[in-house]
Amino acid sequence: MAEVRVLVVDDEEVVLASCERALVSQGYSVALAESVDLALSKLAESPFDVVISDLVMPKKGGMELLKIIRETYPSTNVIMVTGYSSINTAVESIKLGAFDYLAKPFSPAELVLTVKKALEEKGRLVAPYLSDQELPGSMIFDNIIGNSSRMIEVFKFVSKVAATDTTVLVIGESGTGKELVARAIHNNSLRKDNNFVVVDCLTLTPTLLESELFGHIKGSFTGATAAKAGFFEVANKGTLFLDEIGDLSFDLQGKLLRVIQERKYTPVGGTEPRETDIRLVAATNKNLKKMVETGTFREDLFYRLYVVPIFLPPLRERKEDLVILVEHFLRKFSDRYKKPLPRISEKAMKCLLGYNWPGNVRELQNTLERAAVSFEGAEILITDLPEHIQKESGDSAGHAPATIDELKKVKKELRERAIEDIEKEFVVNALAVSGFSVAEAAKAVGMQRTNFYRLIRKYGIKLPTGEEEQYSNNGHNHNGSE
């Protein structure tokens, strides 16, 4: 892939320096400009894939730069940087063609994720989150692929919890990638140089699972001719991943709870407890809350596990990721089976987009592997797909985007509809920063209190009782005046 070039425009040196560090770590070529005029000079010298510009700067601001870029350099995506006081301008910049915005203060990870989205939109990145691509602070998301808003939230959550030692519960349907998320947490943690141990609670009987978890001593049962270390010992100083924990027997749930509470366990047949230092990540495709209600899952264990839940969306709820997933898997199988990289026909893509994927990403991967092995000619046709997918995509496939270009058009329309979400986010953030004082929040964003309160009512944002009563009575005067 050719060199990716990013231009950062800001009048604050500290912002320029921090952005440069984060983007250079991704292998991008980064240029810096302290003013709009200098930015235009650099743009005239050579093209840039992405421009990141502050909205408010001396003399000329980001809006003026945006308008010039849209007219003169239409292939360049622009990301605006804004503070609370620029809420109206931030919304207007999206309407005028800015790709996205970053609200101050933003983290290096948020910056990198937004730039990667912009590059994918341009076609400069086919799959933004492939193996060995790192985020600032060595954030690695091995083979977790997606740039939908739902997946970006997952990436952000993993980046926040990885460096801690807190227990994490990954919740998602079969095939959504729960183990990949658990591995990402481990690979980005302080325990990354130690073992990552996977235990499938579904495939082992309760008796065998207890021995596998805690180990056993010699002679503890028939066939125990030698002592054996359990998973808690093997994973010491590392991460223990308990997959499908909803299938753990009630008796083992109690023993696991004691280990979590005391950080000690006793091997089968043993009498002396042993200490363990593990980071616990669990996963389930079941509703543990309902299992607690029906008495099939311990309530005390549930709350020990439900410290930091990460919800993985099913593929049907992030269809915008399907195109880059298809391209990734076709490349993978082309390399594996030493075959030319196939194209996928419009009808076949339309069929894939119309299907609901009950098996999620794993089902998609298996489907494409079969197609990549069996297809003949230059492209994968709809007839190369399983009959049940052709049949079940049915009418819904008729309404799905037929081509990548059409899918990008849908994504653009969705982003335009998200302008209200941007406005609501600013209002909520301004209220939170001001301690939910309408007067202080309105002042911070440069609006009249009455107009700011109209936004609060528009989005149904709840205020403390005193504030609600005050503005319900006099916060929306007849002429919109204070």
CATH topology of domain 324-401: Helicase, Ruva Protein; domain 3 (1.10.8)
Regarding beta strands 274-275 and 264-265, do their DSSP bridges make them parallel or antiparallel, or are they unpaired?
antiparallel
Go through 147-186 and write b for each residue having 16 or more CB atoms within 10 A of its CB, e for each that does not: bbeebbebbebbbebbeeeebbbbbbbebbbbbbbbbbbb
pLDDT at 204: 77
Is the previous residue joined to 105 through a cis bond, with omega within 30 degrees of 0? Answer: yes
Backbone phi and psi for residue 32, each to the nearest 5 degrees, phi listed first: -120, 145
Go through 388-398 and write b for each residue having 16 or more CB atoms within 10 A of its CB, e for each that does not: ebbebbeeebe
The 3-state DSSP class for residue 360 equals helix
Within 13 Å and on the Cβ side, how many CA atoms surround 196? 18
Q: Which of 331, 284, 322 minimizes the C-alpha distance to 172?
A: 284
Within 13 Å and on the Cβ side, how many CA atoms surround 398? 3
pLDDT at 460: 80
Q: Which CATH number fits domain 418-474: 1.10.3470, 2.60.120, 1.20.950, 1.10.10?
A: 1.10.10
Q: Which CATH number fits domain 149-311: 3.30.56.10, 3.30.1490.480, 1.10.1040.10, 3.40.50.300?
A: 3.40.50.300
pLDDT at 136: 37
Burial environment of residue 346 by CB neighbours within 10 A (0 to 12, 13 to 18, 19 or more): middle
What token pair was written down for 279?
């980071």
Go through 291-317 and write b for each residue having 16 or more CB atoms within 10 A of its CB, e for each that does not: bbeeeebbeebbebbbebebebbbbee
Cα separation, 26 vs 177, whole angstroms: 24
What token pair was written down for 168?
């994490």
Tokens 């010039």 belong to residue: 68
The 3-state DSSP class for residue 220 equals coil
pLDDT at 442: 80
Residue 33 near residue 63 (C-beta atoms within 8 A): no
CA distances from 465 to 9, 260, 274, 471, 473 (A): 43, 41, 53, 10, 12
pLDDT at 441: 80
Q: Which of 480, 420, 417 minimizes the C-alpha distance to 453?
A: 480
**CA-CA-CA-CA dihedral for 189, 286, 313, 460, to nearest 10:** -100
Residue-by-residue pLDDT tens, the chain, 482 positions: 457 899 999 998 888 998 998 888 777 899 999 999 999 999 999 889 999 999 888 889 889 999 999 888 888 999 988 875 455 666 677 777 888 888 777 778 778 888 887 887 665 543 333 333 334 333 456 678 887 778 888 888 888 888 889 999 999 999 999 999 999 999 888 999 999 999 998 877 787 888 888 888 886 777 777 888 889 999 999 999 999 999 999 988 999 999 999 989 888 887 788 999 999 999 999 999 999 999 999 999 999 998 889 999 999 988 888 888 888 888 888 888 888 888 888 889 889 988 999 999 999 999 999 998 888 877 899 999 999 999 887 544 444 444 445 545 555 555 555 556 666 767 777 777 677 788 888 877 667 788 888 888 888 887 765 666 566 555 444 344 34
Q: Which of 390, 405, 401 minimizes the C-alpha distance to 355?
A: 390
Question: Which residues make up the CATH 3.40.50.2300 domain(s) of the chain?
Answer: 5-125
Question: Which residues make up the CATH 3.40.50.300 domain(s) of the chain?
Answer: 149-311
CATH superfamily of the 5-125 domain: Response regulator (3.40.50.2300)
Cα separation, 11 vs 15, whole angstroms: 8
DSSP 37-100: HHHHHHHHHS--SEEEEES--SSS-HHHHHHHHHHH-TTSEEEEEE-GGGHHHHHHHHHTT--E
Tokens 């590392």 belong to residue: 238
pTM of the model: 0.56
What token pair was written down for 205?
């009987």
Cα separation, 267 vs 274, whole angstroms: 8
Cα separation, 389 vs 462, whole angstroms: 45
Question: Which residues make up the CATH 1.10.10 domain(s) of the chain?
Answer: 418-474
What token pair was written down for 306?
């439900």
CA distances from 138 to 46, 109, 133 (A): 31, 10, 9
Q: Which of 31, 322, 320 minimizes the C-alpha distance to 149?
A: 320
Q: Can you name the residues that pair with 274 across neighbouring β-strands?
A: 265
Q: How many residues does the chain have?
A: 482
Cα separation, 180 vs 280, whole angstroms: 15
What token pair was written down for 349?
């893509």
Which helix H or strand E contains 132, and what residues bound it? none
DSSP letter (8 states) at residue 104: S
